Structure formats: structure tokens, C-alpha cells
Amino acid sequence: MRTVYLNGEYLPEHEAKVSIFDRGFLMADGVYEVTTVLDGKLIDFDGHAVRLARSLSELDMGNPISKDDLLEVHRELARVNEIDQGMIYLQITRGAPNDRDFAFPPKDTPQTIVLFTQNKPGLAENPVAKKGIKVISIEDQRWARRDIKTVQLLYPSLGKMMAKAAGCDDAWMVEDGAVTEGTSNNAYIVKGNTIVTRNLGNEILHGITRAAVLRFAREAQMNVEERAFTIAEAQAADEAFITSASTFVMPVVEIDGAAVGTGSVGPIATRLREIYIDESRKAAV
């Protein structure tokens, strides 16, 4: 049984309870982060803390916890739950007023803050990375502020189910003819020595793994183009891959039934995955 964190307390998971009036529950009025644990340490904690602060401020929500305290809670949860490899999920909502109301509650309404661990032994050695994943394309029907990491994940969840129904692993979302991102990851293609991924804007989440991987790619003398690309361009690419805190760098070998490149995992995605895991381990806190 896990120990989780709720509003300042460490509790057994079944004792952690949130109000039915919580705006996260009623309105999806909340933001979240997922931070990876490797060797019991946190990957890119600073990046997640900075993005969290930005998500909160974009929604005019307060930040109920300091960065130092947040780090301490992450470390304590990893420690008490004996997480060697896995994730820590964090969610902050606008809190629980006494009733349902579209208008925001008064600023002094206590916010809800929840953290829990997900134990994933073997995350870094995931055998799927050796064979790659298959994706389908679907229309991007999410709201227009995907740069804010909100808990309104219904459409991404439907997208994963559409992929599953098609015998695939994930879906890449397409808007105005161009790929935005995967349901819970950023999307990339590789042509020659060039890596192409959607430019930052309100259309995609600014992935913490994305920032790290692009930095490592540039350091390894690869070219990086941050621009939109189509499904047709992706199908004609040499390689494709996704990145996220929970998948690191994961090769994509098929898009809408068409093999990408040779149809097997390519050298650039493989190399970036190795560099990402090595460097992240070294910098973990």
C-alpha cells in the first residue's frame, strides 16, 4: 500500500480523500506534472517545477507550495514508497468551495495538492524501445491552450482508446493538416541528420523531455528544425519517435499502417534514448 501526500499530510492511499466539491473533480480546474524517478532520484525536477508555476499562473491559480517543499515531498514519497524507477504524479486544483459554481471561489479558498508515486521497475530498460510503437493519426479536438498542463485529459484518453481499437499503441493528433503531438507525448521525425518537431506555441505542451532531448541532439551535432510537419512527411521520414517523462525517447515504427523508414527502430532514436537516460541519471537530484 502506497503512502501518498494530500494537503500537507502523508497518508495511506485509502485514507486520502478529496471533497466532491473539488473543482478538479467538477470542472477539471486543476493542473498536474509527472516527474520520473530513476535510481530513486528525480529527473528534471527544476523543469517540472517551472512548468507547474507557469501552468498555475496562466490559470490565475495560486501556488500553494514552495519549490523547496515540493522537492522535499517528491523525495520523501520516493523514499517511503521505495521507488527505484517510476513516476511521481502531482496535481494542484483551485480547491473545494462549498458548492458548484462556474465563477472562481475566493482567492483564500485552500487549494488541493495531491502527490502519489507509481512504481515502474525496469522503466529505463523498457523492451518496447527495442521494437518501437505504432501510431494512428486522429483529429486534434482538444482545447486551444495545450501549453497549460491541465487535468482535462478526456480527449487524449479517447485517443488512446482509438489507437488501441486500431491495434496500435498511441495516436498523433493533427490540426490544420499538421501534427501537433501525441496524446501524452511530443512527436518527432528524422530525415538524414535532421530532427523535426513541432515548434512551441499554445498548440502543444512544452515537454520537459523535449527540451532536454533537443539540447542533447544539438550537442551531438544533429540538426534540429522546430516546425510543423504532416503525416505524409512523417510516413516518408527515416525515423520517428516520441518523448515524455514516462517514455523518455520511444521509437515510432509505423504511422497509419505505413512503415517509417525500414519499419524497425533507427539509430538516431536509439542514440538519443541512450544519451537522454545517461545524462538524466547523472543530473538527477
Q: Which residues bind ligand PDD (CB under 6 A)?
A: 34, 181, 184-186, 205, 207-210, 243-246
Dist. CA 138–CA 182, nearest whole Å:
10
Distance of CA 34 to the CA centre of its chain: 6
Spacing of C-alpha 80 from chain mean position: 24
CB 255 within 8 A of CB 172: yes
Sorted by sequence, the CB contacts under 8 Å of residue 178 that are 6+ apart come out as 198, 228, 229, 230
In the complex, minimum distance from the CB of residue 116 to ligand PDD, in angstroms, rounded to a whole number:
13
Question: Is 130 among the catalytic positions?
Answer: no
Residue 275 C-alpha cell reads as 544519451
CB of 98 to ligand PDD, least distance (A): 31
* 23 and 97 Cβ atoms separated by less than 8 Å: yes
Instruction: Please state the closest distance from residue 212 (CB atom) to ligand PDD, in A.
Output: 8
**Closer residue to ligand PDD (CB): 134 or 160:** 160
Q: How far is the CB of 228 from ligand PDD (least distance, A)?
A: 15
Tell me whether residue 83 or residue 96 sits nearer to ligand PDD (CB atom): 83
Give the residue with the Cβ less far from ligand PDD, 74 or 210: 210
Question: Is the CB of 100 or the CB of 145 nearer to ligand PDD?
Answer: 145
With cell 493519426, the residue in question is: 137
Count how many residues are written for the chain: 285
Catalytic residue among 17, 107, 131, 149: 149
Catalytic residues: 149
